[in-house]
Structure 1
Amino acid sequence: MSDAFDAVFAQLRATMLEQASDMTVTQDTPGHLVMKTPWNEPGKKEPAWFGMVQVKKAFVSCHLMPLYALPALLDDTSPELRKRMQGKSCFNFKKAEAHLFTELATLTRRCAKAFAGPVGATGC
């Protein structure tokens, strides 16, 4: 990992852990954080995915899986943060951008609130 990516990963990891504190950490290794919900996916024996922060070759990615089920959570997202999106739930960063990380923290908190209970209890 480059020093720049290390710093981006550290900030995004801290954001995910702080804003989604009700979620369960299932992997936390250098360059890779995975969090799952406290409830099992319907029809499955394991918890649903909540999010992930991972260092890739060309960027650091931050995935918020609730955005698949509840795309309306993105309604207030700035065009600048949306430019960082790849697909429906992934944001990519090459450098730390404080204003975007603040906005992403708010979005992460909204996702965590929406996915705090079992599917159905949150409108999913």
Structure 2
Amino acid sequence: MDTVFKTLANIMKKHATQLEVTTDKPGNLYINTGKLDAKKKAIFFGMVKQSKDKVTYHLMPVYCNPELLANISAELKKKMQGKSCFNFKKIDTDLFTELDALTGAGLSDYQRADKI
């Protein structure tokens, strides 16, 4: 499970160069945008969290703009839980590549929406 976490965390971190990494510990990566919302809370971008039996990849831009999910594969869709969460138990290079592209699209969407 550690390798799955590290691989997914690296995908998230790759897109976080303009963002604020608030937690970066083994099994837990949490990233905000650095901007505040109307309630003066940091705008959440994403997180990667390892649990006993899976690694969860939260990507908030797809919650804010579900149109980002319009072209994802059926296989990646099967990994979704809720509106912005993907669960993995093992490395899947194709799905991770797709998730990388989706994360980049989410970052671009947040930039257009002035959330960064």
| TM-score over 0.5 for the pair | yes
The amino acid across from 1:115 in the alignment is Y
Q: Distance in 1 between matches of 2:17 and 2:76?
A: 23
- Gap runs ≥5 in structure 1: none
Aligned positions of 1:1-124 closer than 5 A: 5-44=1-40, 46-116=41-111, 120-121=113-114
Which runs of structure 1 show a deviation greater than 4 angstroms over 4 or more consecutive aligned residues? none
The amino acid across from 1:32 in the alignment is N
Q: Per the alignment, do residues 19 and 121 of structure 1 end up closer, same or farther by CA in structure 2, a change over 3 Å counting?
A: closer
- Gap runs ≥5 in structure 2: none
The amino acid across from 1:93 in the alignment is F
Matched residue count = 115
Residue 59 of structure 1 and its aligned partner are, at CA, apart by 0.3
Residue deviations 1:69-103, cap 9 Å, x none?
10000011000000000000000000000000000
The amino acid across from 1:111 in the alignment is G
Q: Distance in 1 between matches of 2:19 and 2:107?
A: 7
Q: Distance in 1 between matches of 2:12 and 2:83?
A: 18
Q: Distance in 2 between matches of 1:35 and 1:97?
A: 23
Name the SS of the counterpart of 1:82 in structure 2: helix
- How big is the alpha-carbon RMSD for the aligned residues of Structure 1 and Structure 2? 1.4
Name the SS of the counterpart of 1:62 in structure 2: strand
Q: Distance in 1 between matches of 2:90 and 2:69?
A: 22
